[in-house]
Structure 1
């Protein structure tokens, strides 16, 4: 938190947790042996976080301004929506060893960008923020190769559209369109148990940022050649 040219930076801390519930529905149709079509839906989930916003080192000017607005020592409630999703997928076996997979996914990120903030203080108020997020699309194509009845290799490529335009990107949530490249192995211990290990590389390219702060000043910069790597393991048990 920058207070101005004559004062040092301050800090803000907000810590909270919540639980909620949602619905997941899916259907699989097999038009012929070795081919499956799937459609799945996950509902939106609403989360309400409650805590007092803790500010330190903000300086007397900013402290007086926030106190006048009823922000200091206010019980703060933040309302967020985890987006609903819809996924269509295809699985097709070419032979006893090779299979092809494809999927298309839609996510309602425009709802995630709408955040409600309620301040419970001597000057209670409600604030609605719109990060101007857009709905996103995900497309992927993959393959599986089964060495034998225990070992299977997987690889795939995917594309995600950006949830924000360049002009609406912020330093706090620097999202952009991305390309995903992944590979992995599955080992079958028995008919009920599988062990998986996978690696994924996500490339987001250059992400320019031009963000206007509440005091009217602007932050300009760029996340150059942004990328993410992930190595994961999991186990599947059927019963």
Structure 2
């Protein structure tokens, strides 16, 4: 309604110029009391019990619009998704004192890898659900900006053997590149461990303790090469 009103006003007056000339002081929507009361009933206990209410952003969108509701949707989804790493991180202080140091380092590495996967999945899922919400809330222009249809997209190929083969190749490449990164990093970590166990030795004309420091850059180089490929 506000967008339609602004569009109609622009045909006859310029609100921004009127504000500059102080013909009007402010231009803003006033609250609709009945709608505000209805929203208050739906989200009365928002900070406590409604953190996990799935339809809460939809209720906000009905009154405040899609832009405000998008923030609540992100906040709502992020809070729910944080429960998983929060449970694991809460258990760490109780586990670490009872395991050896090297096992604690491995546990930290595993948790770091888990967070990388968790972040990737969350961002992908968040983008998908946000586009779905924008479509539901009628933000057509915003959806077209963030989800353009590719020129080579063909709807009739959905579920076909060609699409299945493309998906199989895609995930094969994903697993291949991820496996290469894991195995290469593991190889460098083991090699550096051997160098630290023999600090007086020489590798590539350098003392093992110095060579072990430079070997860390091989991990970065591998990331750059894999990214370019």
Q: TM-score under structure 1 normalisation?
A: 0.20
Larger radius of gyration: 2
> Which structure's residues are more often strand, by fraction?
1
Q: TM-score under structure 2 normalisation?
A: 0.21
Higher relative contact order (CA 8 A, sep 6+): 1
> Which structure's residues are more often helix, by fraction?
2
